[in-house]
Amino acid sequence: GAVVSQHPSWVICKSGTSVKIECRSLDFQATTMFWYRQFPKQSLMLMATSNEGSKATYEQGVEKDKFLINHASLTLSTLTVTSAHPEDSSFYICSARAQRPGQGGSTEAFFGQGTRLTVV
Amino acid sequence: KQEVTQIPAALSVPEGENLVLNCSFTDSAIYNLQWFRQDPGKGLTSLLLIQSSQREQTSGRLNASLDKSSGRSTLYIAASQPGDSATYLCAPHFNKFYFGSGTKLNVKP
């Protein structure tokens, strides 16, 4: 299957600082990328959907000013956690999809290996 | 927003048993549905992708069925092994992917 690379795999930062997480599709162009967070022993919660070249669409309850998403190219999306606090500590996972439904081609989603963020 | 429910939440079985994991979703207008496994502290591994036009999909000991009209999918695991121990997640694709809470499977040697 296609490969999605997420970096870093783990990061520890001080409270109040910002952290950037990168998500790259290595062997395909991703028109859409999804960002999820996962708290311990819970399932993945969709945070936002980003389409290349346009603003991200955030799920209800997700602060767009705190979780900045940029999808500047067809192979790269970034999530920046701004002014991080301990409650932002979580496992963040990105996903990439080559085509939107109805455009032809595969709509399968491929996932990165996740980034464990710890804010101290 | 899709509501995705997975039953059972947890399952502990001896090695060799055939298993059934259930997934239901509220909006049947899906494009496809994926099943994943997640090992503790790790990312997701895609197991099966079943298109909305398909009734089932098979990969090795895994078989996924889909009843789109009733909003249900089932993952069958044949002859379970300890290495199958993980959390299994279903994700119906409704332009976005929403996840169920997962079934945590423990296969005992």
Per-position b or e across A72-106, b if 16+ CB within 10 A of its CB: eebbbbbbebeebeeebbbbbbbbbbbbebeeeee
pLDDT value of residue B65: 97
In angstroms, the CA B7 to CA A112 distance is 26
- Does residue B100 have a pLDDT over 90? no
Chain A residue with CA closest to B49: the answer is A108
Chain A residue with CA closest to B30: the answer is A101
Tokens of A100: 């939107």
Digit-by-digit pLDDT tens for chain A (120 residues) are 678 999 999 999 999 999 999 999 998 888 899 999 998 888 899 999 998 888 899 999 999 999 999 988 889 999 999 999 999 999 999 999 876 656 555 677 889 999 999 999
In angstroms, the CA B37 to CA B32 distance is 17
pLDDT value of residue B31: 86
In angstroms, the CA B16 to CA B108 distance is 9
Mean pLDDT across the stretch B48-61? 93
Chain A interface test: which of B42, B48, B97, B98 (most A C-beta within 10 Å):
B97
In angstroms, the CA B37 to CA B84 distance is 9
Mean pLDDT across the stretch B31-46? 90
From chain B, pick out residues whose CB is under 8 angstroms from the CB of A111. 36, 43-44, 46
